[in-house]
Amino acid sequence: MMLAAYRGLTKAAGPLILLALRLRRRRGKEHAVRAGERIGRPGLARPEGRLIWLHAASVGEAISLLRLIERLQVGYTVLLTTGTVASAELMARRLPDGALHQFVPIDRLAWVRRFLDHWRPDLALWAESEFWPNLLTETARRSVPMILLNGRVSDRSFARWQRLPGLIGPMLAAFVLCLGQTGRDAERLRALGAANAATVGNLKFAAAPLHADPKALAALALQLADRPRWLAASTHEGEELLAGRVHRRLAAEFPTLVSLIAPRHPERGDAIARALTEAGFTVSRRSLGEPIAPATEIYLADSFGEFGLLFRLVPVVWMGKSLIGRGGQNPLEPARLGAAVLFGPHMGNFVDIAERMAQAGAAFRVADEADLATAVRARLAEPARARDEGLAASRFASAEDGVLDAVLGAIATWLP
């Protein structure tokens, strides 16, 4: 009943959805040239032979699938769908040769059917926690085996889905196997309706180190020279000014300090630069090609896909969306590249990883803005400490590389 109501609502809302897509396109939230893919119109021809379709919501989920895609390409064509412009731009550079990318269609049945009619997947692998009723149930109706990879059910999502059993039940029943990130995730998936749920580890541990262009790395390292620096990574609204205040607390002791800020959504660069400038900071912007000058206090890295570059250049990284925001960002990414890692109390999207890293001395939790300033100061004042913590973080991040083989073993039965 609930699924039927959802389908009726999305069918009736077609004109409103198209209007919303046009508005999003004007704001750069949708791809101007590939907009048809969002209503199921293919942007590429389907190759002959077996095709495995993987879906990842956005950048983080897509990155966690890259090594799996490489392994699946032996014998199969691989199609990856994502939903954001940023993920499409990153995948254009990072997808292995021969793998295909499309935008996932909006979850309206006519558009979903158009997408499936064209691509005719032989197997569908779905990452993490983005559940779309029409897309999932229509794929299952066509007898395409579906497997949930790295499934995650947060406290908030679990409480919400428990109130909607008529919607979540049919979606989870569409999967022949649900692999949770942790045992707790697997238990929650079973409680919500998954018939076959297990865990073999967190696929995020299998991700390769983020890429960095060697020339860009050398050029930025030359500009930074021996100046002390730290990075506020994947920041959300409000956290850039917070990072600026931390800079101000530290600048008296470290007069040549450069604070690097890399927002999660670089398209906010204009607003962030304006707010920081109005607060009295001298800002250089990467998106405008502005160099790090002697007077630069804040280097705003408002560019796409360059976290691999930034993580290699700083001794200490604070992960955003963890003090003002909610949920945190992936701390394994800077850890894998040997940076000392800090994060705030709100790591709900990475509970297991954050707790284990903290217990292992591979990352450190800060309580608030003042605590963050104290933690950054300690690591700038003691470079050896930052190096030791970075090594511990790197060891932790590489300790479970075998999870990729475990995932492949778990899904082997359904590989076409």
* 61 is a catalytic site residue: yes
Q: What is the DSSP letter of 50?
A: -
Q: Is 306 helix (H, G, I), strand (E, B) or coil?
A: coil
Backbone angles phi, psi at 53, to 5 degrees: -105, 125
**DSSP conformational letter for 349:** G
What is the length of the chain? 416
Catalytic residue among 30, 61, 240, 297: 61
DSSP 143-187: T--EEEEEE---HHHHHHHHT-HHHHHHHHHT-SEEEESSHHHHH
Residues 6+ apart with CB under 8 A from 90: 59, 62, 63, 304, 305
Instruction: Give the span between the Cα atoms of 33 and 88, in whole angstroms.
Output: 12
Q: CA separation (Å) from 355 to 42, 72, 201, 208, 254?
A: 42, 32, 15, 22, 31
Give the CA distances from residue 198 to residues 177, 185, 259, in Å, rounded to whole numbers and listed in that order. 8, 9, 43
Q: Helices (DSSP H) in 234-306: which residue ranges?
A: 239-251, 269-278
Rounded to a whole number, what is the largest CA-CA distance in the chain?
A: 65
Contact 175, 194 (CB under 8 A): yes
For 51, the token pair is: 């095709």
Q: Which phi-psi region, left, alpha or beta, contains residue 225 (left: φ > 0; alpha: ψ -120 to 50)?
A: left
Q: Which residues contact 281 (CB under 8 A, 6 or more apart)?
A: 244, 247, 297, 298
Within 271-377, strands assigned E span 283-285, 298-300, 316-319, 340-343, 364-365
DSSP 128: T
CA distance 250 to 42: 52
Two tokens, residue 295: 């007077």
The catalytic residues are 61
